[in-house]
Amino acid sequence: MTPKSIAIVGAAETTKMGKIPDVSVIGLHADAALNALADAGLKATDIDGVATAGISPVELAHYLGITPTWADGTAVGGCSFMLHVRHAAAAIAEGLCTTVLITHGESGRSRVGAGGFGRSPSSLMGQFEMPFGVTSPPTMFTIPVLRYLKARGYTEEDLAQVAVVQREWAAKNPRASFKDPITIADVLGSPMIAWPFRMLMCCLVTDGGGALILTRADRARDFPQKPVYILGTGESVETPMVSQMEDFTTSRAFRVSGRKAFAEAGVTHADVDHLMIYDAFAHLPLYGLEDLGFCQPGEAAAFVRERHTAPGGKLPVNTNGGGLSYMHSGMYGMYALQESVRQMRGIAPAQIPGAKISVCHGVGGMFAASGTIIFTNEA
Amino acid sequence: MDRALPQPTPETQHFWDGCAAHELRLQRCIACRDSYFPPRPFCPKCGSREVEIYPASGKATLYSYVINHRPRPDMGTEPHSIAVVELAEGPRMMTNIVGCPQTPQALVLDMPLEVTFESFGAITLPLFKPAEAPAR
C-alpha cells in the first residue's frame, strides 16, 4: 500500500456502550455497522469487502445483506481489527474490492449470544498451560510482569501510575465507564486479582462494538466526513502460549509490527502527535512505549510518571481512557482505532489540538499477536 | 470441579508418559543440539526431524509468576502460584510452585527449584518446589 492511498471514510461505535443486555453479539456488529454506514452516507449494498473477528465474515455479510468480492476472517484476538485494516488497505490497493466494512461486536459483560472461552485440552495451551490454573487473561497476560519489573527496575507503583493517568483521560470522556479520579494508593488498595495485579490494573468487562469503512483516498473526498488516511501498517504474531514468549521483557510481535508500520509511513517518533496502546492491563502501555521505540527500555515508567502521556503531556496516550477506564468488551482493538480516527477528524472528547499523526497499536491474545496502524489527516 | 487436565496427542505422549514415570522428558535436535519445549517431532530452530527425547535434570529457576486470588475451585481454596520456570537445559515451561508458602516473600525470582510430580487420575503433572541444596 502506498502511504495515504487508502482512507477511513466511516467510523462509529455501537449506539450504547457498557451494559447492553438487550442486544446479542451479532446485533452489536450490526448496530456498529449501521452507524458506520450512516456516518459514511452509504448503504450495505455499497460494501463489497467485509472483515471481522469473533463471528465469521460470512455471518456478517449475510446478516447485513452484503455480497462481497473480498472477505477476511483473521482472528488473532483483540488486535484483529488492526490486521483487518492492513489487509483491507492491501486488498483495495490491489483492486480486489473498493469499499470495505470492518466490524466488531462483543457481549463481554452480558454474554448475550456469546460463545465460551473453552480451549481444547489437546491444544498446546490445553496441555501445557491450562492444567496449572490459568483461566482467563488476568492470570495469563500478567505472567511475564514480575520478570519485567525486575529487569527494568520498575515497581508496583509504576503499574498503578498507568491506571491513574488513564483515569484522567477518561474523566474527559462522557462515554467512559469510569470517570472518577483515582490515586496510586487507590489502585494498590483495590482487590488483589493475581499478584502483583490489583483490580484497577485490569481492564473493564463491558458490552459494545465498533465499525470502520475504508476506500481509496481519491474517492474519499466524496464522503461527508473528513477523511483519515492510512500512512503505514504493521502486523506480526509470536506464540499462543505466553509461557513461550522469547523474552518476558519485550514483545517480539510489538517490535516487528511497529517497525513495519513506521518504515512504511516514513515518519519518525518525533512526528507522532497521538498514541493509542491497547491496554488490557496496566503493563501494556509500558511495553508498548518501549517496544514501539518511544522510550528506551527502562525509561517508560518515568516517562509516564513525568506526565508525558497525561493530559497536557508531549505524547498523549490512550486519550479515550483506554481499556482500563473507557471500555473493554474483550477485543478492544476496535475502540483504539475509533479513538485514533476521532483524533484525526478533530472530534474526540479529549481532542489534541492540531494533531496530525496518530499511531494505533494493538495486542492480540497474551502477547500472541500485534497490529499497528499509523493514521494522518493530511492528504 | 475437576482440574483442567491435558489430553495428550501423538506428538506429546512421550512427555506425559515421562511424567507418569516421574521423569521430565525434553527433546533436543541431533544436528544443532538445541533443547526445546513444548514437544514437537522436529527442531523449531533448524527444522530438522532428527530429534531425540532425553530425561532432563529437573533443575530450574523461577523465571516469573503470579499468585492467583480469583476463585478456582479445582486449584483449592487458597491463592496459588502460576509460574514459568527456566529449566537448566534452557527451555521455559508453565507450572505451579509447591512446597512453600504462596507469597511474594517465599517466591523470589531466580530461586533454585526442582521438579516434583503430582498425579491426578491418569495424568501426572510436573510441578516445581524449592531446591533442597542451592543450585550452582
pLDDT digits (tens, 9 = 90+) for B94-124: 999 999 999 999 999 999 999 999 999 999 9
For residue B135, tell me if it sits in a domain: no
Distance, in Å, from the CA atom of A347 to the CA atom of A120, rounded to the nearest integer, reads 44
Sheet holding A357-364, edge to edge: A70-72, A49-52, A100-107, A207-216, A6-13, A228-237, A369-376, A357-364, A274-277
Sign of CA dihedral A128, A129, A130, A133: positive
Distance, in Å, from the CA atom of B99 to the CA atom of B106, rounded to the nearest integer, reads 10
For residue B43, tell me if it sits in a domain: yes
How is domain A6-113+204-376 classified at the architecture level of CATH? 3-Layer(aba) Sandwich (3.40)
* Contact status of B65 with chain A (Cβ, < 8 Å): yes
DSSP assigned state of A201 = G
- pLDDT of residue B133 exceeding 90: no
* Contact status of A151 with chain B (Cβ, < 8 Å): no
ipTM here:
0.91
For residue B3, tell me if it sits in a domain: no
- Tell me what pLDDT residue A379 has: 92
Specify the amino acid at residue A72: D
Distance, in Å, from the CA atom of B131 to the CA atom of A299, rounded to the nearest integer, reads 35
To probe the interface with A, which of B84, B103, B124, B128 has the most A CB atoms within 10 Å? Answer: B84
| Cell triple for A249 | 521483557
Of B5, B66, B109, the CB nearest to A131: B5
Q: Residues with Cβ < 8 Å from B107, sequence gap 6 or more? A: B62, B65, B67, B81, B83, B97, B100
The 10s digit of each residue's pLDDT in B26-53 is 999 999 999 999 999 999 999 899 999 9
- Tell me what pLDDT residue B1 has: 62
Any idea what the CATH number is for the domain that residue B124 is in?
2.40.50.840
Identify the domain containing residue B39 by its residue range: 13-130
> If contacts are CB pairs under 8 Å, which of residues 10-39 in chain B contact chain A?
12, 16, 37-38
Distance, in Å, from the CA atom of A188 to the CA atom of A29, rounded to the nearest integer, reads 36
Query: Residue A224's CB: how many other CB atoms inside 10 A?
Result: 11
| Alpha carbon separation from B62 to A14, B55, B112 (Å, rounded) | 45, 20, 7
Residue spans per domain, chain A: 6-113+204-376
Query: Into how many domains does chain B fold?
Result: 1
DSSP assigned state of A41 = T
Q: Which residue of A has its CA nearest to B39?
A: A124
Q: Do B82 and A126 touch (CB under 8 A)?
A: no
Q: Work out the minimum CA distance from B72 to partner chain A, whole angstroms.
A: 7
Q: Residues with Cβ < 8 Å from B132, sequence gap 6 or more? A: B114
Specify the amino acid at residue A103: T
Tell how strand A49-52 and strand A70-72 pair up.
parallel
pLDDT tens digits in sequence order for chain A, 379 residues long? 899 999 999 999 999 999 999 999 999 999 999 999 999 999 999 999 999 999 999 999 999 999 999 999 999 999 999 999 999 999 999 999 999 999 999 998 998 887 766 678 999 999 999 999 987 899 999 999 999 999 999 999 999 999 999 999 999 999 999 999 999 999 999 999 999 999 999 999 999 999 999 999 999 989 999 999 999 999 999 999 999 999 999 999 999 999 999 999 999 999 999 999 999 999 999 999 999 999 999 999 999 999 999 999 999 999 999 999 999 999 999 999 999 999 999 999 999 999 999 999 999 999 999 999 999 999 9
Q: Which of B83, B107, B108 is nearest to B96 (CA)?
A: B83
Altogether, the residues listed in chain B come to a count of: 136
CB A245 within 8 A of CB A368: no
